[in-house]
């Protein structure tokens, strides 16, 4: 029997909302996964990519990653990674954080991330496809790469039908001309361990090998929470005959969210009743008030939320007001986070544009030396209508207000 843990999208080093507590959440989720691997005495941990949030992690991020992988290596547990778009180097000559782990003897990953890579283990093969090699999934039969009978595919790839099902993204908005679908995967794997889509998804038809996205290990934004309010890794068992079973393990360290929507009365009643769940972290609270909200009521809601935060009951909060016919307004506490400042500056842009812009600008400002990030920012400005006008207006109005 061969047993492994399948994890993906741990995004080590991410710092949503600009809060160090949030950065720590991602390290703690990763440690929880390694704890389970050791406790369950698995043979390997398969990471389907986006292990790191950036291709140039901070020293602290390396320290957390290396500390955990040393524990795995000490117990003889193999760690195999299919590098994702977040950690692949923006220029080949830069190297990648995964390469650092390989050089330390703590990870197996493709030497050439542009090609499929085979890791032979006792009785089975793991065929690894980094993001750059993911199109080979539809072109290469795994039987031509290995003689093992039992084959596990480990890939960082967006299967567009999975994305449509998991997150409702229409097929025509996914993948462009090289759109990949689950039906295009060539050859037969006994288990396909996937990463990239942050919402958990599994494809299990009798007689066919399971294809699984465990999803991210912590929420990068409220959208991820709305789509699925739990985070998972998979414990997978195979034997000489192939796939035996896969079990979802719920990650226990994940920070709770409280997402409240409704009229003023309903919302304020719920806010009054917020308590910190015993034994868990301080929740993040997102409130949406539907309908009119006068200044006095808004101030009283914000005062209550600020007090909860001040008392350490909640970590962070955000108040949205959606009035019919009016642009959506967002109120965040007076923290000095980059995201909250951008939210405020761009609050008059439409919701979709504001969300995209905050994300783009945050990435840009956090990775200003990264040419690929800069060029993808410029491309987004060209392709997505309204972004430039929104920035222009925000700056003109923002500074004259
Ligand atoms: Mn990811």
What confidence tens digit (pLDDT) does each residue in 238-252 have? 999 999 999 999 999
pLDDT of 22 reads 96
**Res. 10 pLDDT band, cuts 50 70 90:** very high
Centroid of ligand 1 to alpha carbon of 96 (angstroms): 16
Centroid of ligand 1 to alpha carbon of 307 (angstroms): 34
Centroid of ligand 1 to alpha carbon of 277 (angstroms): 28
pTM higher than the cut 0.85: no
The Cα–Cα gap between 85 and 81 comes to 13
State mean pLDDT over 154-180.
Answer: 92
Sign of CA dihedral 165, 207, 36, 57: negative
pLDDT of 397 reads 73
Centroid of ligand 1 to alpha carbon of 47 (angstroms): 12
The Cα–Cα gap between 336 and 339 comes to 9
Centroid of ligand 1 to alpha carbon of 388 (angstroms): 27
Q: Give, as residue ranges, everything with CB less than 5 Å from ion ligand 1.
A: 9, 50
**Res. 349 pLDDT band, cuts 50 70 90:** confident
pLDDT of 236 reads 97
Highest mean pLDDT: which range of 37-51, 78-92, 302-316: 37-51
How many residues are recorded in the chain?
401
pLDDT of 292 reads 85
What confidence tens digit (pLDDT) does each residue in 75-101 have? 999 999 999 988 887 766 678 899 999
pLDDT at 400 over 60: no
**Res. 361 pLDDT band, cuts 50 70 90:** confident
Percent of the chain at pLDDT > 90 equals 66
Centroid of ligand 1 to alpha carbon of 196 (angstroms): 5
Cα distances (Å, whole numbers) of residue 338 to 43, 82, 243, 251? 42, 31, 46, 28
Strand-pair partners of 327: none
pLDDT of 399 reads 57
The Cα–Cα gap between 363 and 358 comes to 8
Going by C-alpha positions, the residue among 389, 378, 9 that lies closest to residue 193 is 9
| DSSP secondary structure of 62-83 | HHHHHHHHHHHHHTT-EEEE--
What confidence tens digit (pLDDT) does each residue in 184-201 have? 999 889 999 999 999 999
pLDDT of 362 reads 83
């Amino acid at each position: 029997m061969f047993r492994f843990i399948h994890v993906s999208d741990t995004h080590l080093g991410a710092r949503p909302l600009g809060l160090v507590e949030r950065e720590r959440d991602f390290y703690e989720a990763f440690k929880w996964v390694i704890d389970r691997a050791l406790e369950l005495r698995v043979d390997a941990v398969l990471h389907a990519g986006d292990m790191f949030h950036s291709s140039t992690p901070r020293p602290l991020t390396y320290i957390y990653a290396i500390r955990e992988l040393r524990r795995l290596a000490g117990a003889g547990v193999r760690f195999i990674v299919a590098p994702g778009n977040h950690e692949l180097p923006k220029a080949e000559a830069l190297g990648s954080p995964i390469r650092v782990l390989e050089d330390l003897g703590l990870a197996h990953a493709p030497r050439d991330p542009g090609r499929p890579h085979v890791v032979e283990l006792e009785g089975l093969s793991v065929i690894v496809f980094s993001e750059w090699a993911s199109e080979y999934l539809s072109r290469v039969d795994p039987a031509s790469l290995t003689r093992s009978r039992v084959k596990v595919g480990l890939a960082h790839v967006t299967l567009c039908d999975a994305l449509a099902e998991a997150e409702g993204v229409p097929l025509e908005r996914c993948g462009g001309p090289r759109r990949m679908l689950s039906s295009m995967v060539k050859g037969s794997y006994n288990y396909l361990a996937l990463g990239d889509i942050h919402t958990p998804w599994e494809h299990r038809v009798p007689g066919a090998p399971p294809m699984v996205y465990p999803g991210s290990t912590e929420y990068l934004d409220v959208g991820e929470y709305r789509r699925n309010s739990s985070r998972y890794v998979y414990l997978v068992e195979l034997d000489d005959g192939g796939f035996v079973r896969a079990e979802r393990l719920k990650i226990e360290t994940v920070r709770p969210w409280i997402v409240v929507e409704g009229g003023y009365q309903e919302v304020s009643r719920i806010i009054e009743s917020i308590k910190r769940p015993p034994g868990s972290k301080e929740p993040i609270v997102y409130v949406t008030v539907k309908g009119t909200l006068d200044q006095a009521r808004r101030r009283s809601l914000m005062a209550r939320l600020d007090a909860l935060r001040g008392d350490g009951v909640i970590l962070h909060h955000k108040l949205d007001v959606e009035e019919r016919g009016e642009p959506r307004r967002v109120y965040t506490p007076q923290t000095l986070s980059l995201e909250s400042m951008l939210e405020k500056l761009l609050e008059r842009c439409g919701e979709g544009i504001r969300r995209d812009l905050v994300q783009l600008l945050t990435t840009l400002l956090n990775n200003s030396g990264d040419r690929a990030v800069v060029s993808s920012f410029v491309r987004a400005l060209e392709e997505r209508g309204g972004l430039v006008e929104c920035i222009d207006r925000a700056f003109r109005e923002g500074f004259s207000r």
